[in-house]
Structures are given as structure tokens and as C-alpha cells.
Structure 1
């Protein structure tokens, strides 16, 4: 059960054969995704009311203030000789897909069915952008990983109790985004510069807004927990089906979270390919629908909770090509005391975290 590794952007050679302008546009949309799409919407002269709506869609959480100085140090950034105001330093972003019960649509889609009103971190990825932002590593953390969950501050005062050998996804359930970030930093000793969260309803709306995603599954899927039934083969999935695929684990591979992570990585790649293949740049209406679907269910740290900050991040990723994005799963082994859970496989996991600092 070692970590799996691969690259996104399987059609990178086709991108290189296209004209320079088209290649840059495709690469930007694939790697910067919808953050850059929002930037292009604004650059195209969106009306003030549209800007106001998208900007106010975003929810911000002040993680820096909540956690204070008891955190790993920020990465060292070498000053750039360029006069460009676009940031280019290394960056680590914790990206969570949450199954919160908040809102009727999230409840209908199965949010928080086992985890209480606060929900859980159903999907967790660390996105590491190298200095210069021309390469990236995306690390998936299995939600079944047993970790030391530290004491986390609560908005109401006080803090959660620390716990040894807690399931990774329980951190979000007991302490929200702040505890999720602190637990990841405890696990990795890597500073999370930013936090981004998208809930069930937002993910489903996003897939529907781009017209669905095309994926190929190698075996029949019939998972009553994710409410998904698919025959083996290639399918165009709508938002609810894509969400079901992202949550499926029964009957896939060995039935563990590692098989589910492979499906999620395939789905993310398919979504980015769909975004790049749709005419977002020439259809302001479709572009607005996609941006509204994304921002309407988005929670970030206060360093990214405005369109100006999100589009600044998007602009910094325009030189990131699909072939330079590496996807990795955190190296794990079965927990000796619980074969249904996993723990970090050392020293491999430690070497991975060191590469992100």
C-alpha cells in the first residue's frame, strides 16, 4: 500500500503541437482551472453587479489569527529580479472537499451522513507550487489515515482535546478549517500558506456548469453509499454522478480509500480537461455560470477570500503546463492495530513532506 504517483495532462504532446497562443490558453485553463477563468471573466469587462456577486459568494476564515505563531515557518522566498507584480514564490495550499450538511442541497447529496452537522473532510489534497510556479505537486491524504490530532482553538473559545491515533478527516468534524489546517501542519511539518474548501453542492454545480465530465471506469460500480451505479466503460457524468464517483470506494480496487483517491484524481483531470475544451473564453454567460458555481460554495482563508486575491493567484499560474503537474498519494501502510486504517509509511512520507518545504 505504498503511495501512487503519476502525472496529469496525458495529452500534453497535443498541446505542444498547437500554436503558442492556444497552447498557453489550454495550459492555463487546465492548471489554474476556474481561478484563472474568474480572472479572465473580470478582464473581459464583466458588469459591476457580477463582480459584486462573485466576490460576496466567497466565505473567508481567518486561520492565521486563530493559529497564531505556533506553526511551521513560512517557506523562504527568493526576491525576483522581474518588475512584474505577479507573485512567483513557492506556495502550499490545503484543498478540502467537505461533506458538510449546511444547506438543503448538501443534505440531499449525502453531506455529513456519519459525521454530524459539521461534516468531515471527505477529500484532502496539498497543492505545492514550486518557486517560479512552473511545476506543481498534488499530494492526496487518505481520510482513513490515523494521525495525532492536536488541540485546536474553537470560535466560541477554548479548544478541542488532543487525540492520538485519530482519523485524519475527524479534524474538520471537531474543529472546522482551523483544525484541519493545524492537523495537516502537525502531520507534515509544512506550513499551509492557504486553505480552499468546496462542498458537495458546489462540486456538483461546477460539473453541471461545464456540461458534465467524461470518464472511463474499468469495472462495474454499484455503491449504495455513494448512490452510484455505472457499467464498465466510458460515460459522460452529470454533477451528481461525478460526486458519486468521487465518493465511491466499495468494489473499487481493494475497497480502501486508496482506490477512491485514484478515482478522484482521474475525475479532477477530467474536469480540468472539460474546462479547457469548452468555449469559456468566447461565452461570457457560460463563464459566469462556472465562476458562480465555484465561488458560491467556496470557503478560503482570508488571504484568498476576494476575487482580487483569487485572480492574482490565477495569474501567477499561467506558465504552469499540464505535464509539469505531478499527482502523488501520501505513502501509507496498514495500521498494525487496525487493518481498516492506515498510518504514514516512514521514512518515505517524511521525505515527501521535506520536498514541499
Structure 2
């Protein structure tokens, strides 16, 4: 790609090449980690949050996007774009050397239904080829629209506002908010939560991520949790699509763990969780305050993992480049239409997708 984006494997040939030349990959799907902290803190009292506003970074996305957007929903449902960039600030190269310009290696659309009792999560593979719209840059300039651009390049050229704009263009679904999280916060929050319980249905060994787990029940602390969500080799076809399955299973386990935390029983821990959450999270200006995040946490507290449907946007391999995927237009339309109309995503919508071909080797809970 002209933008210098990394090319992860998808097809078998690309998998073989990757094994000959292993590369550390950026963290995916850490965004739910911040949301897990928000949920955990949502059961606490405001005194643990009221002094922490200065920790939160906010971006006025609405001003950057203007008025040419999908219409707002007025039925009580909500759409949040969860982002995790590959910026490695503060990690001292521990998870791979930094790159020039961060990319949105994580993108999930969280749809909360009008009752706030059920949720759908749609993962967008970072290497999906999309029509990227014209976007404002952070320096007062404009990034031109691009035909068949890699999805994660939207963050690189225009930050979170451009990623929101790209998602809205491809889905026709208006994003009410966005949340983003960093590397350091993910590992710390898992440690502060006391670890997350998962079950592996077979042994997983990935020398690239450092993960080595036998089949069975595990409580993953921060370091192992980070290794799990970075693992690609040894699961599925060795591609990012297989890794998404691991991450989605981990997300459900994280939601379950966060739901067991009672901040009222330990005010000190409640404050530590809130401090980590607010230092970890970047958000749109509509969420960039402790009061707003506390309110979101309370709204989401009642959504259990059993009432959270996670899918990957239907895709197929790009025949012109096995390191890229293309949206399955008809199936993707079904997915996005369900979110627009606040309905469950039809199971049949993902059946033809290459992301739906194998079972996850990990499940939530021990």
C-alpha cells in the first residue's frame, strides 16, 4: 500500500510467508477493555470519579464531520465506535517499534438496543478495502477521498473523526460516540480487575505473541491477556480473522469479570479503576467527562455477555491481494440494516463470510 500500512496474511500463501518472516503485530480490540472499566466503575459512586476529568482526552468529532451524516436515531438505541490504535506511546517498544502515524487496528461498532438490555458488536477487519471519504486532517488540511483504500488508513490520514466518517459511509449507521484505548491501559486494567477467566479448548502456542496455554481453564492477568489478544499463529488459518475470534471470546469474559466488581465494597479499588479508565480512554467530547462515562457505565451495566451478539462484518478474500479482504455487499447490508432498525443481526448474514468458517478455540469463563 502507498500509505506504508503493514500487510498481514489472510490467504494460505500469505500465511506461509508470514511464518518465514514473523512480525509483531499491533494490539487489536483493546477498546472493549476501556469499556470494561467504564462498566466496572458504573456501579460505584460519583465521589470516586469527580476529580478525574483532567485525565480524559476529548475530540469534537461532530464539528469535524459536519452535517452530511446518517440521521440520528430517536428510539433510545445507541451506536458507539470502539477504537484501538497501534500507537505504542509509553511501551518502550515492548510490543513492537512505533510507526509513523497511528492506524486504527481496532474497530468495533457497539450497538445498544433501545431497552439497553441487549447489544450487538460488529468487528471491522482492519484490512478491509473500502471507499474512504474525504477527511479533514489534524493540520487544517484535507485528505482526499480514496478508492479501495485499506480501512485502517482512515485513522492514519485523519484520526478518529475520519474513521467515524468512513464507518458511517460504509454502513449508513450514525455513530453517536467513539471510545479509544491504548496499550498500557489494557494490561493495567486487567491486573486491577484481578484477571479474566477463560477456557481454551485446545493448546495455544504462539512464539510471536509469547502466549503458551494448555487446554483447560485459566485466569489471565494483564501480560497473558495482552498476549492472547495479539495471538494469530496457531489458531485458525494464522490470520487476523482467527485472532478476532480470540478477541471476541476474551471481550465476553471481560464483560463478565467487570460485572462482578462491586466498587462500593472497596472505595480505594474503585478510585484506582476510575483513574485507570480515565487515563486510558480517549473519547468524543460528548463522552469526555467522568459524569458522562459514569452514566454510560450505568447504562451498560445490565447487558450480560449472553445478551451480547458478536459478529465480524461479512467479508471475502480479495482475489487481487490475499492480504486484503472485501465486504460481502449483500450480507454486510443485512448487518448494517439490522443496526439501523434496532433489530437483531440475522444469523444467516454471516454464513458466507470467510470470518465465519471456524469455531473459536477459546470461550469465556473458567
TM (norm. structure 1) is: 0.80
- SS of residue paired to 2:263: coil
- SS of residue paired to 2:58: strand
Correspondence 1:34 to 2:37:
yes
Distance in 2 separating the partners of 1:353 and 1:112? 36
| Superposition map of 1:58-207 within 5 A | 58-75=56-73, 77-78=74-75, 89-102=76-89, 104-105=90-91, 107-110=92-95, 113=98, 116-207=99-190
Distance in 2 separating the partners of 1:157 and 1:218? 51
Structure 1 segments, 4+ long, off by >4 Å, are none
Distance in 1 separating the partners of 2:311 and 2:64? 30
Distance in 2 separating the partners of 1:313 and 1:302? 14
> Contact 2:45–2:264 (CA<8 Å) still a contact in 1?
no
Q: CA deviation at 1:39?
A: 3.6
| Superposition map of 1:249-260 within 5 A | 249-260=232-243
Q: CA deviation at 1:224?
A: 4.0
| Superposition map of 1:258-273 within 5 A | 258-273=241-256
> Contact 1:134–1:324 (CA<8 Å) still a contact in 2?
yes
> Contact 2:316–2:328 (CA<8 Å) still a contact in 1?
yes
Structure 1, unmatched stretches of 5+, are 2-29, 79-88
Q: Which residue of 2 aligns with 1:55?
A: 53
Q: Between 261-270 and 234-243, report the one with greater CA deviation.
A: 234-243
Q: CA deviation at 1:34?
A: 2.9
> Contact 1:100–1:117 (CA<8 Å) still a contact in 2?
no
Q: Report the CA distance shift for 1:99/1:240 in structure 2 as closer, same or farther (over 3 A).
A: farther
Structure 2, unmatched stretches of 5+, are 1-9, 11-32, 341-366
CA RMSD across the alignment: 2.2
Q: CA deviation at 1:231?
A: 3.5
Aligned residue pair count: 308
Q: Report the CA distance shift for 1:312/1:295 in structure 2 as closer, same or farther (over 3 A).
A: same
Q: 1:296-355 deviations in whole A, cap 9, x for unaligned? A: 111000000001111222333354344322111111111121122111112010111111
Distance in 1 separating the partners of 2:97 and 2:156? 9
> Contact 2:232–2:243 (CA<8 Å) still a contact in 1?
yes
Q: Say which of 332, 340, 344 aligns to 1:349.
A: 332
Distance in 2 separating the partners of 1:220 and 1:320? 31
> Contact 1:134–1:320 (CA<8 Å) still a contact in 2?
yes
